[in-house]
């Protein structure tokens, strides 16, 4: 049996699961603190040609009257600009609402956004109404960006900054035993057999490749390591698997092992195509955070690193407590 403790964080004297949603429950972030100003780089109206550009997630989209026909707000006749603005804000409020945005905060923020476009950007209400859908898309994007920035800041403070208090809890664990993964597809092995796999040599969950693949070679190196007592292939997104929280979603390390000295040894195999990408850096960061909080070992293993084989990288990690 292998029992792996889950990661928690102590925030203001309260112990919380380390996933970002849980940490945000103690956050005082509100939309009121976020800028509502859309500048020329965010939203470009070219009224002479009746063209509007909107930059969404780095991709500039251009709308014209030939490609977009925009209905006016329901029930609007000839009304003054302030009344039209109030009606547009109500419509934007319905389009942008979200569970974590109190109505009064959202309404105030949208009012500030529309006021800025009218007074500082000089955009008429007729133009704003004509492009209401594109405007709401940009505003939703701005809200999402502000929310993600707050989530990133809360997670950083709870887990990684000076004064952060990541922790593990004795009774909060993932247990691997003989009944684990009974419903999971298995790897069909030809010549090779593992000696230390927890579920047996012929009950290894499917790898991301065959017996000639790098991930399989990493498992072989782990199985042959003298310091290892037992290990298991950790299946991504399975209900019985061990995971660590990322900013979005969870990270499922490739292998979970137990060493002869009683420590746990959690490994992620890092293919050459992922050796330097941000996703792998984030996984390594949270893995090392868990290792520091639990006094166990986490390592990211490559086919060859600084002239060291996979087995040598594992030995180095075990010797230093991290890798």
Alpha-carbon span 247 to 33, nearest angstrom:
21
What is the greatest pairwise CA distance in the chain?
A: 83
For 283, the domain range is 177-320
Alpha-carbon span 199 to 176, nearest angstrom:
9
Q: What is the mean predicted confidence (pLDDT) over 74-95?
A: 82
Q: What is the mean predicted confidence (pLDDT) over 24-41?
A: 85
The token duo for 195 is 């000696």
Q: What is the mean predicted confidence (pLDDT) over 162-184?
A: 91
CB neighbour class for 49 (10 Å; exposed up to 12, middle 13-18, buried from 19):
exposed
The token duo for 208 is 């991301």
Please check whether residues 309 and 185 belong to one and the same domain.
yes
Q: What is the CATH number of the domain that holds 243?
A: 3.40.1350
Q: What is the mean predicted confidence (pLDDT) over 287-313?
A: 93
Residue found under tokens 């029930």: 75
Residue where a domain stops, chosen among 157, 190, 207: 157
Please check whether residues 147 and 208 belong to one and the same domain.
no
The token duo for 147 is 């929310």
Please check whether residues 38 and 111 belong to one and the same domain.
yes
Residue 141 lies in a domain: yes
Taking the C-alpha atoms of 289, 293, 297 and 300 in order, what is their torsion angle to the nearest 10 degrees? -10
The model's pTM is 0.79
Residue where a domain stops, chosen among 124, 157, 190: 157
The answer to whether 269 and 241 have CB atoms below 8 angstroms apart is: no
Please check whether residues 256 and 182 belong to one and the same domain.
yes
pLDDT of residue 185: 80
Angle in degrees, CA 255, 259, 263, rounded to 5: 95
Please check whether residues 289 and 212 belong to one and the same domain.
yes
Q: Per residue in 179-238, pLDDT tens? A: 898 888 877 666 677 889 998 877 788 776 556 678 888 999 999 999 999 999 999 989
Task: Answer positive or negative: Cα dihedral of 310, 252, 170, 161.
Answer: positive
For residue 239, which of 171, 179, 180 has the smallest C-alpha distance?
180
When mean pLDDT is compared across 221-230, 269-278, 282-291, 310-319, the lowest value belongs to 269-278
Instruction: Determine how many CB atoms are found less than 10 A away from the CB of residue 11.
Output: 20
Instruction: Determine how many CB atoms are found less than 10 A away from the CB of residue 191.
Output: 5
pLDDT of residue 35: 86
* CB < 8 Å & 24+ apart, contacts of 117-124: 117/38, 117/43, 118/81, 118/85, 120/37, 121/38, 121/39, 121/40, 121/45, 123/45, 124/47, 124/81
Q: Per residue in 112-150, pLDDT tens? A: 999 999 988 888 888 888 888 889 989 999 999 999 999
Residue where a domain stops, chosen among 95, 127, 157: 157
DSSP state of 274: G
Angle in degrees, CA 158, 98, 249, rounded to 5: 45
Residue 11 lies in a domain: no
Please check whether residues 90 and 206 belong to one and the same domain.
no
Answer whether residue 48 shows pLDDT above 50.
Answer: no
Average model confidence (pLDDT) across the chain:
85
């Amino acid at each position: 049996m292998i029992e792996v403790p889950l990661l928690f964080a102590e925030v203001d004297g309260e112990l919380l699961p380390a996933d970002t949603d849980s940490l945000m429950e103690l956050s005082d972030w509100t939309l009121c603190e976020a800028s509502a100003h859309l500048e020329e780089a965010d939203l470009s109206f070219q009224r002479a040609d009746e063209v509007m550009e909107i930059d969404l997630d780095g991709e500039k989209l251009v709308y014209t009257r030939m490609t977009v026909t925009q209905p006016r707000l329901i029930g609007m006749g000839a009304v003054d600009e302030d009344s039209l603005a109030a009606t547009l804000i109500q419509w934007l409020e319905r389009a942008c609402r979200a569970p974590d945005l109190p109505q009064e905060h959202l309404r105030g923020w949208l009012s500030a956004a529309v006021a800025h476009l009218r007074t500082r950007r000089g955009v008429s209400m007729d133009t704003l109404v004509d492009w209401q859908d594109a405007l709401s898309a940009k505003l939703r994007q701005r809200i999402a960006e502000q929310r993600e920035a707050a989530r990133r800041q809360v997670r950083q403070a709870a887990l990684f900054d000076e004064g952060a208090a990541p922790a593990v809890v004795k009774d909060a664990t993932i247990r691997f035993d003989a009944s684990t993964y009974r419903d999971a597809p298995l790897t069909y092995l030809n010549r090779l057999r593992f000696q230390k796999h927890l579920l047996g040599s012929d009950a290894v969950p499917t790898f991301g490749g065959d017996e000639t693949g790098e991930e399989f070679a990493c498992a072989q190196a782990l199985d042959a390591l003298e310091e290892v007592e037992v290990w298991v292939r950790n299946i991504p997104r399975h209900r019985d698997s061990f995971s660590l929280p990322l900013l979005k979603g969870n990270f499922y390390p490739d292998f979970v092992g137990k060493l002869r000295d009683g420590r746990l040894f959690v490994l992620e195999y890092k293919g050459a195509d992922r050796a330097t990408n941000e996703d792998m850096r984030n996984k390594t960061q949270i893995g090392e955070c868990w290792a520091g909080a639990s006094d166990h070992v986490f390592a990211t293993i490559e086919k060859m690193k600084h002239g060291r084989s996979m087995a040598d990288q594992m030995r180095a990690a075990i010797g230093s407590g991290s890798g």
